[in-house]
Chain A
Amino acid sequence: MAQLAMLIDTSRCLGCQACVIACKAGRELLPGERWIEIREVVWGRFPELRGAFVPHRCLHCTDAACVAVCPTRALYKQDGFTLVDFERCSGCGYCVEVCPFGVPRIVDGRVSKCASCIDLVRSGREPWCVQTCPAGALQCGPREEILAEARARVAALRDRYPDAQIYGETQMGGLGAILILTAPPEVLGLPAQPKAPPLALWKGGVQPLSLGALALSLLTSGIAFFIARRRHLEERQTGAGNNGSVSQPREAQRG
């Protein structure tokens, strides 16, 4: 399948929470678990107050830090989305630490984040959140089409929101969710340039080095054992103990 993406148009979001509930019910999430959260952001000084509803949910980074850090490969990329194999998840929580958007949670010992409705999309339907959105703020489709739609919408919004912009085209290698913002990302609580965590030294250096050291010492001691054992038995038989002292000969007494 082509690279898919979600369109999240904050200019249209009503903050109605319908997507939160549809997702929770449709994906049969646990009590206390939710894959979408709507954050209300207010800025400016009275009476010049401005506001927006910003969905806080997995943005499906192309260069996903959570996928890079996941030790059991429970998190993986497919068709532009970051999917979850919940059976493989060990609940280590590394993804919670490294996500630049602070999205994943650990619920009941397992990762909890949007695992996409890829099953619905494959069968020609739309994700639960898209199906239920009454404001037309959500769409799901091929990334190029979603980007084109986002550009058209932003162009139309410029009159009303001079700061209207697309978010997610380039961040983290390109997000699998294209957001339409009515204000600069920092104002809406999104990092303008989210940074990938420095995992190279650890995952690419320390861990292979540690495993290598283990394998090498197993191999070395395995080979050396046969040499050392033979030489030790030899030395014991000739009675040449430590410092040349002669060990007592083994006596076999006839009883």
Chain B
Amino acid sequence: MASQTTRWVLRYRPGQRVVHWLHAAAFFVLLITGLALIWPPLSFVAAGGLSRLLHRAAAIVFLLTPVLYALIDFKGLKDLVRDSFTYTRQDFEWLKGFPAYFLGRTSHLPPQGRINAGQKIHHALTIISYVTISGSGLVLWLGKGSLGPAGLVAATIVHDLSMAVMAVLTIGHIYFTFVYDALPAMTTGYVTEEYARMEHPLWLASLPPEPPYVIEVKEAIPEAAEEPLALTGDKAAG
């Protein structure tokens, strides 16, 4: 039977994946219920106050995910914050090559570590807007009824701008995930060694080449199903 061996590299630990998806789910609930107050076609979601309740329930999850991250994988949180705000000369080189990276090319880029310069900026902006959106959101929530026009306008401007930054970042995040087949990193936790070599060679080199960091998976190749069995011999003969 035909089979091939693919080498997979551990990218995200189970705790990191759980925190990621919790945070993502809360974010999308917050985004949709929040947009209901900005984009009139969505305002039916807000009618009756259901979206207000959902927005607050999701806000609690959203606010607590970093705490949860610290509790179950403190090293992961520490690495995230440190790496997001540490920039090297190579990162600037990488950023110069960003336009081509945006359009699907990696060969021209200097080799990157665990996260590339684009991801660093993405993470840094995400962390900053997490702080501003949470702060302004708490002001709007806890100060409700006593903000006055100036307070309301100031808090909602910060809240709306943070939302715009986060939403644009998220669109980019999803875009790069699907251009470069990075989804398995957050579902199974593993990426192909090929992906790691193209995107994060320095990180790959820093990993011990043994389980659980690098595993080999033998898969059947479903090529036999593509052509009828009876014809195989004829084709081979022809």
- Check: B51 CB closer than 8 A to any chain A CB: yes
B168 in the interface (beta carbon within 8 A) = yes
9-residue interface stretch from B66-74, B77-85, B104-112: B104-112
Q: B38 touching A90 by the CB < 8 A rule?
A: no
- Could you tell me if B47 and A90 are in contact, using CB atoms closer than 8 angstroms? yes
Q: Which has the most chain A C-beta neighbours within 10 Å: B104, B151, B172?
A: B104
The 14 listed contacts between A and B (C-beta, < 8 Å) are A71-B46, A87-B47, A87-B48, A88-B47, A198-B153, A206-B161, A209-B164, A210-B160, A227-B103, A229-B104, A229-B178, A230-B104, A247-B198, A255-B3
Tell me the bound Cα distance from A243 to B199 in angstroms: 10
Q: Is the CB of B149 within 8 A of A252?
A: no
Tally of A-B residue pairs with Cβ under 8 A? 178
* Interface residues, chain B, with chain A CB atoms under 8 Å away: 1-5, 36-40, 43, 46-49, 51-52, 102-107, 109-112, 144-145, 147-153, 156-157, 160-161, 163-164, 167-168, 171-172, 174-175, 178-180, 193-194, 197-199, 201, 221
Distance, CA A3 to CA B76, complexed state (A): 64
Binds B, one of A91-99, A116-124, A131-139, A181-189: A91-99
- Majority-rule SS of B interface residues: helix
Q: Whose C-beta in chain B lies nearest to the C-beta of A196?
A: B149
**A207 vs B167: C-alpha distance when bound (angstroms):** 13
Q: Does A45 contact B (CB under 8 A)?
A: no
By a CB distance below 8 angstroms, the chain A residues around B109 are 242-243
Which residues in A have their C-beta under 8 angstroms from that of B106? 232, 235, 241-242
Which of B43, B147, B149, B178 has the most C-beta atoms of chain A within 10 angstroms of its own C-beta?
B149
Q: What is the minimal beta-carbon distance from B149 to any residue of chain A, in angstroms?
A: 3
A interface residues, tally (CB under 8 Å):
60
A242 and B38 within 8 A (CB): no
Give A236 to B197 CA distance when docked, in angstroms.
11
Bound together, the chains give a CA A106 to CA B49 distance in angstroms of 12
- Across the interface, do A198 and B49 meet the contact criterion of CB distance under 8 Å? no
Considering the chains assembled together, what is the distance between the CA atoms of A217 and B51 in angstroms?
25
| Contacts A91-B49, A97-B148, A214-B167; A201 near B103 (Cβ below 8 A) | no
B37 / chain A contacts, CB cutoff of 8 Å = 71-72, 90, 92
In the assembly, what is the distance between CA of A64 and CA of B139, in Å?
25
What residues on A are CB-neighbors of B43 within 8 Å?
71-73, 88, 90
Q: Give the Cβ gap from B64 to chain A, nearest Cβ, in Å.
A: 23
Known A217-B171, A251-B4, A253-B3: A225·B112 in contact at CB below 8 Å: no
**Are B103 and A224 in contact, with the CB atoms below 8 A?**
yes
CB distance from B219 to the nearest CB of A (A): 10
Contact A93 B144 (CB under 8 A): yes
Query: Are A110's CB and B49's CB within 8 A?
Result: yes
A65 at the interface (CB under 8 A from B): yes
How far is A106 from B172 in the complex, measured between Cα atoms in Å? Answer: 39
A214 near B171 with CB under 8 A, answer yes
Q: At the interface, yes or no: A254 with Cβ under 8 Å from chain B?
A: yes
A199 at the interface (CB under 8 A from B): yes
The answer to whether A221 and B153 have CB atoms under 8 Å apart is no
Measured CB to CB, the nearest residue on chain B to A231 is B104
Given contacts A90-B51, A90-B52, 8 further A-B contacts (CB under 8 A): A72-B37, A97-B145, A197-B153, A199-B149, A210-B160, A213-B167, A217-B167, A245-B201
Q: Are the CB atoms of A92 and B46 closer together than 8 Å?
A: yes
Among the listed B103, B148, B174, which residue makes an inter-chain contact with A228, where contact means beta carbons less than 8 Å apart?
B103
Most chain B CB within a 10 A radius of its CB, from A199, A241, A251: A241
Bound-complex Cα distance A93 to B152 (A): 10
User: What is the bound-complex CA distance between A245 and B171, given in angstroms?
Assistant: 30
